[in-house]
Amino acid sequence: MLRLAVIVLLLANAGYYSWTQGLLKDWGYAPEEQAEPQRLQQQIRPETLQILRVNPGKPASSPAPAETAASTPTPAAEAAECLQAGVFEERQAEALRAAAAGLPQGSWLLEPTPVPGRWMVYMGRFEDLETLDKKRAELRARKVDHDRAGGTLEYGLSLGRFNSKDAAERELASLGSKGVRTARVVQERPEAPGFTLRLPAVTDTLRPQFDALRPAMAGKTLRTCG
């Protein structure tokens, strides 16, 4: 009996081995195949799988919708330029202040810009135009530059205008070498207060508003700030 049991056990082991190795497949005896191609065929939409890193201790947060992920574009700042005009006398500056009353605060200012005095090397005053013309002929013969003095200094001739008395005195001394003897230095215009109109940040939006200033600008034009 022991020998029979051993033979039956050997036959059972041989049969199990043949079944697991697919040797009995032709007779319809074989285990169900679990090879990788069959598993892949059983997957549903594998392309949608994602691997996410989750911080332990923190709940995983859902990704923000695409609509909220993109920030709203910030409008580009308007280009601005600094413009100025002048110099304006006190009376003209008052007119500008009145014209600029409705403009945005800080969009304009009047900077004090004193108008320097002016000095002239002057010849005259002559009694009449005939005498004036004779003196002009003499100066042309000596090759001395000159022009009409104008204003309250008529009938007279200017041999040069200068921003300081010292400069005018030096020119007068130089003219002495050309035979000029009767000229003298006079103050044509005293120093006076003045103002420069400055528009520090002119944009396309503000530009039409500054048109209100033009009637009060006394013919002066805006230029780039120096």
Tell me the pairing of strands 156-162 and 147-148: antiparallel
The number of distinct structural domains making up the chain is: 2
Q: Are residues 181 and 197 in the same domain?
A: no
- Residue 172 is assigned to a structural domain of this protein: yes
Helix (H/G/I), strand (E/B), else coil: 161: strand
CATH of the domain at 130: 3.30.70
- Residue 30 is assigned to a structural domain of this protein: no
- pLDDT tens digits, one per residue of 197-226: 999 999 999 999 999 999 999 999 999 998
- Cβ neighbors of 223 (< 8 A, separation 6 or more) are 83, 84, 85
Q: Are residues 144 and 109 in the same domain?
A: no
CATH of the domain at 100: 3.30.70.120
Give me the percent of the chain exceeding a pLDDT of 90: 62
Average pLDDT score over residue span 155-163: 95
- Residue 48 is assigned to a structural domain of this protein: no
User: Global pTM?
Assistant: 0.48
Q: Is the pLDDT of residue 106 over 60?
A: yes
- Residue 69 is assigned to a structural domain of this protein: no
Give me the percent of the chain exceeding a pLDDT of 70: 73
Q: Are residues 170 and 205 in the same domain?
A: no
Tell me the pairing of strands 147-148 and 81-88: unpaired
- pLDDT tens digits, one per residue of 30-87: 666 655 555 556 666 666 666 666 555 555 555 545 444 445 555 567 899 999 998 9
d(CA 189, CA 145): 21
Q: Are residues 166 and 108 in the same domain?
A: no
- Residue 152 is assigned to a structural domain of this protein: yes
User: What's the confidence (pLDDT) of residue 165?
Assistant: 94
Give the CA angle between residues 27, 32, 35 to the nearest 5°: 120
Q: Are 191 and 115 in contact (CB under 8 A)?
A: yes
- Residue 38 is assigned to a structural domain of this protein: no
- Residue 8 is assigned to a structural domain of this protein: no
Q: Residue type for 30, please?
A: A
Which of 185, 134, 137, 178 shows the shortest CA–CA distance to 161? 185
| Structural domain span for residue 126 | 118-189
- Residue 68 is assigned to a structural domain of this protein: no
Classify residue 27 as exposed, middle or buried by CB count within 10 Å of its CB (0-12, 13-18, 19+): exposed
Confidence of residue 110 (pLDDT cuts 50, 70, 90): very high
Q: Are residues 167 and 199 in the same domain?
A: no
